[in-house]
Chain A
Amino acid sequence: EAGVVQSPRYKIIEKKQPVAFWCNPISGHNTLYWYLQNLGQGPELLIRYENEEAVDDSQLPKDRFSAERLKGVDSTLKIQPAELGDSAVYLCASSSPGLAGGNDTGELFFGEGSRLTVL
């Protein structure tokens, strides 16, 4: 079974330029997450999708960040314009409903991340 796929793995841009990251979750996983991981810190949730609906985007800086998951499968995270402080790793993860009762146990499957450097 293929895991969560992210691209690009690495991206270097000048400040004020736009950048986009792509994520393809595990087949059948209807929940998709974008996390931000700064150096030396744990991942922090940016946005969570249930199918194509963003159900938690409270931590997404909406002035420069946007995300979409149009067909409820793959997703794109965009930053425009990028700032120096946006240098970080952007992690995508997916999950599926749990066992009996349908409750999600919270187990996330992560991609390898997209490392952004803003110069």
Chain B
Amino acid sequence: AQSVTQLGSHVSVSEGALVLLRCNYSSSVPPYLFWYVQYPNQGLQLLLKYTTGATLVKGINGFEAEFKKSETSFHLTKPSAHMSDAAEYFCAVSDYGNKLVFGAGTILRVKS
């Protein structure tokens, strides 16, 4: 069975600083990996996904993530944080689409 661990339930960065949100996964098969963002009182929106191919994946709003099989990680990064990035971020793993399992989420706070 798949599982996801997100290190740090809260992350705080200054505006313009690097954003790094950590995600480690467990999967018995080569996984599909996702990052979703959730703004207050809204549903989840896909930021980016890894299925096959290039391990560095670029998403919307300047985010990117790198699939590292040896480390079973899929950390999310953004070079320069913006106030509008403040939200909750969820990492998720899927075994070829049969079931999407989410991590507990990381709340990103951006300080001015």
Contact = CB atoms under 8 A, between A and B. Distances in A.
Partners in one complex: yes
Interface of A: 4, 33, 40-45, 48, 56, 91, 93, 95, 98, 103-113, 115
A113 B106 CA distance: 19
Interface residues of B, number: 26
Nearest to A99: B51
Given A41-B104, A106-B34, A56 B99 contact: yes
Interface of B: 4, 9, 32, 34, 36, 41-46, 49, 51, 90, 92, 94, 96-105
Contacts of B105: 40-42
Contact of B43 (A41, A42, A91): A91
Contact of A103 (B42, B97, B100): B97
Contacts, number: 66
A47 B51 CA distance: 24
Given A42-B90, A93-B43, A108-B46, 20 more contacts: A4-B43, A42-B92, A42-B102, A43-B90, A45-B101, A91-B43, A95-B97, A103-B96, A104-B97, A105-B49, A105-B97, A106-B49, A106-B97, A106-B100, A107-B49, A110-B36, A111-B43, A112-B43, A113-B42, A113-B43
B97 A110 contact: no
Nearest to B96: A103
Nearest to A41: B104
B45 A110 contact: yes
B102 A44 contact: yes
B44 A110 contact: yes
Contacts of A93: 43-44
Nearest to A33: B100
Contacts of B41: 112, 115
Contacts of A42: 4, 90, 92, 102-105
Nearest to B51: A105
